[in-house]
Amino acid sequence: MTFTQAILEALESLNGNKMRSGLTVLGIVIGVAAVIAMLAVGNGAQESITGSISSIGTNLLFVFSGSQDGPPGGPGSGRSGNNDRPLTLGDADAISDPFAAPSVELVAPVIQGNGVLTFSGENTSTTISGVTPTYFPVRNMELAEGEPINEEHLLGRMSVVILGPETAIALFGHADGVVGETIRIEGQPFRVIGVLVAKGGGAFGSEDDSAYIPFTTAQARLIKRSSRDQVDVIFVQATTAESVPQAAEEISNIIRTRHRTPIGYDDFTVFTQQDFLSTFETITGVLTIFLGGIAGISLLVGGIGIMNIMLVSVTERTREIGLRKALGARKRDILLQFLTESSLLSLIGGIIGILFGWFIAFVVGRVAIATGNNFVPVVGTDAIILSTSFSAIIGLFFGIYPASRAANLEPVEALRYE
Amino acid sequence: MDLVIEARDLKKTYKMGEIEVHALRGVSFTIQRGEVVSIMGPSGSGKSTMMNTLGCLDRPTSGDYILDGESVAEMTDDQLASVRNRKVGFVFQSFNLLSRLTALGNVELPLRYAGITEGRRDRAKAALEAVGLGDRMTHRPYELSGGQQQRVAVARSLVNNPAIIMADEPTGNLDSKVGKEIMNLLLSLNKDLGTTLIIVTHDPKIAEQTQRVIRLRDGELDTSGEAEGKK
- Distances, alpha carbon A44 to alpha carbons A48, A228, A290, B14, in Å: 6, 45, 15, 66
What are the strands of the beta sheet with B3-16, ordered from one edge?
B19-32, B3-16, B62-67, B70-71
Residue A48's pLDDT is 81
B116 reaches A (C-beta below 8 A)? no
CB B216 within 8 A of CB B25: no
Residue A338's pLDDT is 92
- Distances, alpha carbon B22 to alpha carbons A328, B10, B15, B19, B72, in Å: 28, 11, 9, 10, 20
CB B29 within 8 A of CB B54: no
Given a cut of 50, the residues of chain A with pLDDT beneath it are: 70-80, 203
What whole-number distance in Å separates Cα of residue A26 and Cα of residue A37?
16
Between chains, do B82 and A330 touch, taking CB under 8 Å as contact?
A: yes
- Distances, alpha carbon B37 to alpha carbons B94, B164, B221, in Å: 21, 11, 14
CB B26 within 8 A of CB B11: yes
> Could you tell me whether strands A188-196 and A182-185 are parallel, antiparallel, or unpaired per DSSP bridges?
antiparallel
Between chains, do B98 and A323 touch, taking CB under 8 Å as contact?
A: yes
The dihedral through the CA atoms of A215, A216, A222, A226 has a sign that is: positive
Residue A78's pLDDT is 44
A315-319, Cβ contacts within 8 angstroms, sequence gap of 24 or more: A317/A406, A318/A409, A318/A414, A318/A417, A319/A414, A319/A415, A319/A417, A319/B96
Mutate one of B48, B96, B121, B169 to test the A interface: name it (highest A CB count within 10 A).
B96
Residue B38's pLDDT is 94
The percent helix, strand, coil of chain A (3-state, each to 5) is: 55, 15, 30
Given a cut of 50, the residues of chain B with pLDDT beneath it are: 227-231
* Nearest partner of B156 among B123, B181, B201, judged by Cα: B123
What whole-number distance in Å separates Cα of residue B63 and Cα of residue B74?
10
Residues of B within 8 A of A16 (CB-CB) are 100
Residue A203's pLDDT is 46
Residues of A within 8 A of B85 (CB-CB) are 327-328
Residue A75's pLDDT is 44
Residue B166's pLDDT is 94
DSSP letter at A205 equals B
Q: What angle do CA A120, A123, A126 make, to 5 degrees?
A: 140
Domains of chain B plus CATH, in order, are 3-229 (3.40.50.300)
Q: ipTM value of the model? A: 0.92
> Could you tell me whether strands B88-91 and B164-168 are parallel, antiparallel, or unpaired per DSSP bridges?
parallel
What whole-number distance in Å separates Cα of residue B31 and Cα of residue B45?
20
Residues of A within 8 A of B50 (CB-CB) are none
Residues of A within 8 A of B55 (CB-CB) are 326
CB B184 within 8 A of CB B159: no
* Nearest partner of B210 among B191, B192, B95, B159, judged by Cα: B191
What whole-number distance in Å separates Cα of residue B9 and Cα of residue B29?
9
Helices assigned H by DSSP within A133-177? 135-138, 151-155, 165-172
Mutate one of B14, B52, B97, B159 to test the A interface: name it (highest A CB count within 10 A).
B52
Number of Cβ within 10 Å of residue A173's Cβ equals: 10
Between chains, do B85 and A327 touch, taking CB under 8 Å as contact?
A: yes
Residue A204's pLDDT is 53
